[in-house]
Amino acid sequence: MTRSARSVLLIALLAAAVLLAGALDGLARDRSSVGVPVGATPGLLPSSFGPAAAAGRDPNLWPFSRDSVWNLPLGANAVYVPANIAKPTAWGMTTDPDVLILTPSEPVTPVYYNSDAWGGGSRCDAQGGVLFSAPIPPDFVVPGAKPGDTPNFATAILMADGHTLVQGQPMARCTANGTATMWWYMENDLYGTGEGGGHGGSMLSSIGGTIRLGELVPGGLIQHAMKVNLDGAANLYYDGATRGYRWPATAADGCASSCYGGSNPALRMGSLLAIPPSVDVNTMGLETAPALILAKAFQDYGAYVVDNTGWSVYGIETEFSPQGRVEDEFQAAWSMPINPVSRDVPWARDMDRIFGTLGVVDDWDAGAWTQVSASNGTEGSGGGAPRVPWAPDFGSGSTPPPLSSTASFSGTAGLNGWYVSPVAVTITVTGGSGTVSIAYRIDGGPWVTYTQPFTLAEGRHVLEYQASDSAGDTEPARTAYVNADTTAPAIAWDPVAGGTIAPDGSLSWTGSDGGSGIAWYEAGVDGGAFQSVGLQTTLTQQWTEGSHSAIVRAYDAAGNTQSSTIQFNVAGSGSGGGPGGGSGTGTGSPTTSPGFSLRTPPGVPEALIGFALVILGLGLRPRGRSRRPISSR
């Protein structure tokens, strides 16, 4: 089928399905011819995946031209308008995986028409003819849709020429070697400016702005603009003049007139969101290290709104490719999910902090881009000096793969990014010329040569490492933060005079933890159910006469626990026994509650108690990816 014939078919499909108003303009723009940059050799792409080096940029990992909206940093003259993004009420965070198939030497595979989209079908079966054929690994599976799980799966596939990108939405290939399907598609160039793509809500790129493997990990760095999804009903603005979108988007959702309900005229599909330069991201109170990586990227490059979540959540676009998923990499690197159900965990609270700080870059349009593009590196998005340098030029396919070292960690994962066992560290390197060596140091100590995996014991550690080769190339030093807490907290009961307290007396204790620190306590009396008491260290109630027991269980931030029990008497019982104490692991929550009163002392917020209860409940929730559609069109 010729390109013009495919265009006619695509237009017919879009019109018949009423996919998106204004999308055809975007399609026409992105079929324009884009020249090959100087130094780029068609069909000869670097074969390894690693960070860009001075020798050149790998388009597979860092696509599109230097002046692409996806590669431009923010400029000093950018004008920011508060975005006023509504805090979501559902999940703590969601991801919208972009399917990236950048394997031009794999077998050419037909991709068939399927219009199940978000209408309740599985997407698995061919419903029409072949839309196009493209190189796809035979064993690569893209799950179909099912009730409650209808991912967008905006897709970018690199064709055999090493230049042409076929982009569309949503893709499925429900079994290995099975039928590949898609609803619609368009084409543009991996080396071009990156306009247009497979995100149906905006017609923006499926690959530009995607958070890639290796970027949101310890020592990672995001050097490009990103993509976000927002709840249109709460955030995105629509009127007849703008039709709910702004450049570089060329469309809004087909339901925009009825499903967009935001009140901020600046916040529309395609808006560039960023943390204003007046904000110090290091003092935002972020609780997690990956949130700081994300915040720095939001301030240096920003993120474009590309889709409507369709429910009350935030969403970020992440890589799903034959090389892996960012969701899995994030879980392995940080020992926590990137898409938590709970709204009261550190990562989710950090998302509230970041999204609550964002502004819309309101002076950014096609005319401003033309001026910035012509500056050849001296201006950034919105005009003025760029916050960070522009992306480097592309490398040549004959250039040896750049040096790239990676540290991986293994141990027993605890909570909040901590390990509860010693951590084994393995450092690997790819690329380079001749003999390659790796140097590392721990906690600012002397640099030593890496020869074999090593172990980090308990503590907060800073690992620095870098690779060099015999050709004289040395990569920038990388940094990873590794926290291990292998010791349970300690509890000491305060003395009780004569083992007896008054009927209105108090029990108190002292907790200590030299590793991650005490996070919260639970307490129970006389075999009653444990109740969270946050960080308070006193139990007060109206006691009855006689013999009693109390047990306190301490949790540190890494998830280690320790329990201690005390026996005591209440005045008038005549038992006269002395106080007892002990420690050990709790044996479980009793089934009855004595109903004692827990009073929060000044300075301990009630939210902290709620946070503890959420943490305890995480193990009871089913795990998995979003069980609700992140977008519905």
- Cα–Cα nearest to 312, from 372, 362, 361, 355: 355
Residue at 313: amino acid letter: V
H/E element, 6: helix 3-17
User: What residue spans of 255-401 are helical by DSSP H?
Assistant: 256-259, 289-300, 326-334, 346-357, 366-374
625: pLDDT strictly greater than 50: no
Domains along the chain with CATH numbers: 3-45+65-374 (no CATH), 404-484 (2.60.40.10), 490-620 (2.60.40.10)
Residue at 71: amino acid letter: N
5: pLDDT strictly greater than 80: no
Q: Which residues pair with 173 in a beta bridge?
A: 142
Give the CA radius of gyration of the chain. Answer: 28
* Arithmetic mean of pLDDT, 325-335: 96
194-218 pLDDT per residue, tens: 989 999 999 999 999 999 999 999 9
- Cα–Cα nearest to 278, from 364, 362, 379, 387: 387
579-616 pLDDT per residue, tens: 333 333 333 222 222 333 333 333 334 333 333 333 33
Dihedral (Cα; 231, 235, 239, 244), 10-degree rounding? -50
What is the phi/psi pair of residue 136, to 5°?
Answer: -135, 130
Give 382's pLDDT tier (boundaries 50, 70, 90).
very high
323: pLDDT strictly greater than 90: yes
Residue at 171: amino acid letter: M
Least confident of 31-35, 125-129, 402-406: 31-35
- The set of long-range contacts for 475-481, using a CB threshold of 8 Å and a minimum separation of 24, is 475/51, 475/53, 475/402, 475/403, 475/404, 475/405, 478/219, 478/405, 478/407, 479/218, 479/219, 480/218, 480/219, 480/407, 480/409, 481/218, 481/289
Q: Which residues pair with 457 in a beta bridge?
A: none
* Sign, Cα dihedral of 296, 297, 300, 305: negative
Cα separation values, 633 from 21, 188, 200, 259, Å: 12, 24, 8, 10
* DSSP helix/strand/coil, 331: helix
398: pLDDT strictly greater than 70: no
